[in-house]
Structure 1
Amino acid sequence: MLTEAIFDDLEQAWSDKDIDRLVSLFTPDCLYEDLALGARHEGHAGVREFAEGVFATMPDFTLRFPVRLVTPERGSSHWTISAHWNGPFEGIDRTGHPIEFHGLSSYVFRDGRIAHNIDCWDYVAMIKAFGVLPLDLAALPTAK
């Protein structure tokens, strides 16, 4: 039976940057979607590629799940990511810039692993935090 421990394992694998362990938490035919980026990653290879990209841009990436909900078939979480950025963001070098952002995820579980992961977060809040928001958009409100 699936328990909240899957979130402990997921949090630890991401924070340890243990890609093999992370991939093992997903079904081989999984789908990982990031709605803010419009990205879809399929299967273990897709999760691996996504994680490698995350760790390249945020080498000290840490993840926390302050709110978690799990049933045998579905789950959801509120998460917080904190890191320092490495490289350009929206064409501007933001290396060393600290970043913290929050989001929500929805999960479908199968055979004790994640079959479908959907991440939702506020991209406008991210570009505001990096100071790369175009002036005509700077007045847009962001969630707190």
Structure 2
Amino acid sequence: MRAREWIFDRLELAWSTKDVGALTELFTEDCVYEDLALGVRHEGHEGVREFARGVFETMPDFSLTFPVRVVTPERGSSHWVIRAHWNGLFEGVDRTGHAIEFNGLSSYRFSDGKIAHNIDCWNYVQMIDGFGVVPARLAALPHVPGS
């Protein structure tokens, strides 16, 4: 079985309905899921479940759309938009109830009609701006005179 665009419809539905089982089934058992902005890597079905649970804990009304999709039998890519309200701390500041919207790009490698490797790339600065929170590690940088 070869992956086609239907996989994006199923991904969008599984993420937006918070169906961790359906989401996991879209990935190979030995898959790799990487989030470059957060610097994390998850492996296998348990890694996908762990990642999804973390997303749903911090964004309980999480919704995802794929306005742009490109797919071949072996590879795919997408532009995605996430909308949600935050639950809990962001960079040490309670942002519970704060609306957030951000977008990114993902690259996929397929095997036997499932996702074998998923790499997410998104703009962390967009999150900082959206929350109005400057992380302590960035606030601590020395300021350049005249800038």
**TM-score normalized by the length of structure 2:** 0.91
In the TM superposition, residue 2 of structure 1 has moved relative to its aligned partner by 2.0
Match of 2:36 in 1: 35
**Structure 1 residue runs of 4 or more that deviate by more than 6 Å after TM superposition:** none
**C-alpha separation in 1, matches of 2:65 and 2:107:** 15
In the TM superposition, residue 128 of structure 1 has moved relative to its aligned partner by 1.1
Match of 2:24 in 1: 23
Per-residue displacement from partner, 1:9-41 (whole Å, max 9, x unpaired)? Answer: 000000000000000000000000000000000
**C-alpha separation in 1, matches of 2:49 and 2:12:** 16
Match of 2:88 in 1: 87
**C-alpha separation in 2, matches of 1:16 and 1:90:** 27
Larger Rg: 2
**C-alpha separation in 1, matches of 2:67 and 2:129:** 24
Determine whether 1:132 maps to 2:113. Answer: no
In the TM superposition, residue 3 of structure 1 has moved relative to its aligned partner by 1.4
Per-residue displacement from partner, 1:47-90 (whole Å, max 9, x unpaired)? Answer: 00000000000000000000000000000000000000000000
Match of 2:118 in 1: 117
**C-alpha separation in 1, matches of 2:107 and 2:70:** 10
Match of 2:144 in 1: none
What residue ranges of structure 1 are gaps of 5+ in the alignment? 138-144
In the TM superposition, residue 116 of structure 1 has moved relative to its aligned partner by 0.1
Per-residue displacement from partner, 1:92-126 (whole Å, max 9, x unpaired)? Answer: 00000000000000000000000000000010110
How high is the sequence identity, in percent, across the aligned residues? 74
Match of 1:102 in 2: 103
**TM-score normalized by the length of structure 1:** 0.92
Match of 1:6 in 2: 7
What residue ranges of structure 2 are gaps of 5+ in the alignment? 142-147
**C-alpha separation in 1, matches of 2:86 and 2:92:** 13
Determine whether 1:54 maps to 2:55. Answer: yes
**C-alpha separation in 2, matches of 1:19 and 1:101:** 21
Q: How many residues align?
A: 137
RMSD: 1.2
